[in-house]
Amino acid sequence: MYMLIVGGGKVGWNLARELIERGHEVTVVESNRGRYATVEEELGHSVQAGDGSELWVLERAGIERADMVIAVTGDDEDNILIAQVGREKYGVERIIARCNNPRNFQHFELLGVKPVVSATDLILRLIEHEVPKYGPLHLLDLHQERLEIIELDVDEASPAAGSRVEDVGLPDGALVISILRDGAGFVPTGESVIDAGDEVLLVLDPNLEESVTGYFTSAAGTRAA
Amino acid sequence: MFVLIVGCGRVGSAVAKTMLSDGHDVSVIDEDPEAIALLEKGQDRSWEELGGSFTVGTALEIDALLEAGIERADAFVASTDGDNTNLVIAQVAQRRFEVPKVVVRVLDPARAKWYRDQGLSTICPTQAAIELLEEAVRGGDRQEAA
């Protein structure tokens, strides 16, 4: 595949190296002259100097025949623009954009840029995963499908601990899809019993998160709001 | 009319002053708190005393846009020094806040043209300069011929 990477910073450079190793044809576009020289020493003609949000620079780099455009500059507005013209003007089917500031994610979404990768967001998710009692962990938001998947730790004093799944009384729109126990997971039936210390995965309609969390945490154990 | 202007440089500040003296409500956003000086240059009163408002914030901050009153804006002018910033916030103003009139300054003629074709009201000073210069050169020809 021909992959066009805009932004030759740490992300773009390392990505280019990995993709070249896997046999892809890659061009990196980098606007900073000094940075370009550094990357060029290793990647040679796979790097071009230029402002990747200028259309002629993208055209010179062959965006019209690119199978994928990866916008990973340090500026979110640049990444949004590159992704937008890549898809809408040049008809590139696969686009990946980097979101540097998670607060800008809404702009990517509004302008139809996806998928969006945010290192800050990934690290936040890892922190949520590593720090217990932080509340439900968002594993996946399926915006278009209007569903979300969350993970919860089952507290000893919670209504769910010791109950069968069907007796927990979860509201409509919430479904336990997996129970993780002793390092293994299984898909429960209505008769499966939830134990304290289990981790449960649920798929939810939007806005049910708060009410569902109450079934798996104890009143005393709830985190400070 | 309530006019929101993002980017208070030479262009943004001049448009803001004209709109205010035309009797419109004008709100200006800039990331530099000192930029208000451009609005007050040559005035005997402060920008606020003249009836304008000024918010410090970066263009992509929704909170700053809300504080500056984007929800009740009749017109939105994107005039920061970044083409891409202008193009993104103009689309945010148009699609998310449904501001009736959105005008965006884009220095690069190629991007200005493509986004204009997509329905955005882009103003390209570079293209205007090119056309004026060409016209001036042609005008010179005619004078000599005449």
End-to-end CA distance of chain B: 47
pLDDT number for residue A135: 61
Is the pLDDT score of A219 beyond 70?
A: no
- Phi, psi at A171, each rounded to 5°: -65, 160
More confident residue, B23 or A102: B23
Closest residue to B111, CB basis, from A55, A76, A107: A55
| Tokens (6 digits) for A12 | 């773009």
Burial class (CB in 10 A: 0-12, 13-18, 19+), B101: middle
Burial class (CB in 10 A: 0-12, 13-18, 19+), A128: middle
Q: How confident is the model at residue A221 (pLDDT cuts 50, 70, 90)?
A: very low
Q: How confident is the model at residue A220 (pLDDT cuts 50, 70, 90)?
A: very low
Q: How confident is the model at residue A136 (pLDDT cuts 50, 70, 90)?
A: low
**How many domains, in total, are found in chain A?**
2
- Please state, in angstroms and as integers, the Cα–Cα distance from residue A114 to each residue in A7, A28, A105, A144, following that order: 17, 20, 10, 12
pLDDT number for residue B18: 96
List beta partners, residue A202.
Answer: A150, A176
pLDDT number for residue A134: 52
Q: For residue A181, give its domain range.
A: 132-216
What residues of A are in contact with residue B84 (Cβ under 8 Å)? 53, 75, 77-78, 80-81
More confident residue, A107 or B143: A107
- Within this chain, do residues A18 and A71 fall inside the same structural domain, yes or no? yes
For B59, the closest chain A residue by CA position comes to: A77
List beta partners, residue A5.
Answer: A28, A70
**End residue of a domain, out of A87, A122, A157:** A122
- Within this chain, do residues A114 and A156 fall inside the same structural domain, yes or no? no
What residues of A are in contact with residue B60 (Cβ under 8 Å)? 76-77, 101, 103-104, 107
pLDDT, one tens digit per residue, over B64-75 is: 999 999 999 999
**End residue of a domain, out of A97, A122, A147:** A122
d(CA A50, CA A88): 21
Is the pLDDT score of A1 beyond 80?
A: yes
What residues of B are in contact with residue A106 (Cβ under 8 Å)? 62
d(CA B41, CA A171): 62
Is the pLDDT score of A107 beyond 90?
A: yes
- Tell me if the bond preceding A115 is cis, omega within 30° of 0: yes
Is residue A222 assigned to a domain? no
pLDDT, one tens digit per residue, over A28-49 is: 999 999 999 999 999 998 999 9
Is the pLDDT score of B82 beyond 70?
A: yes
Closest residue to A107, CB basis, from B60, B82, B83: B60
| Tokens (6 digits) for B111 | 């991007």
pLDDT number for residue B116: 96
| Mean pLDDT (whole number) for A53-73 | 96
Q: How confident is the model at residue A131 (pLDDT cuts 50, 70, 90)?
A: low
Q: How confident is the model at residue A149 (pLDDT cuts 50, 70, 90)?
A: confident
Is residue A221 assigned to a domain? no
- Within this chain, do residues A7 and A91 fall inside the same structural domain, yes or no? yes
Among A57, A58, A81, A109, most B C-beta atoms within 10 A, so best to mutate, is: A81
More confident residue, A102 or A52: A52
Identify the structural domains of chain B with CATH numbers, from first to last: 2-145 (3.40.50.720)
CB-CB under 8 Å, A110 with B95: yes
Amino acid identity for residue A200 in this structure? V
Q: pTM of this prediction?
A: 0.76
pLDDT number for residue A20: 94
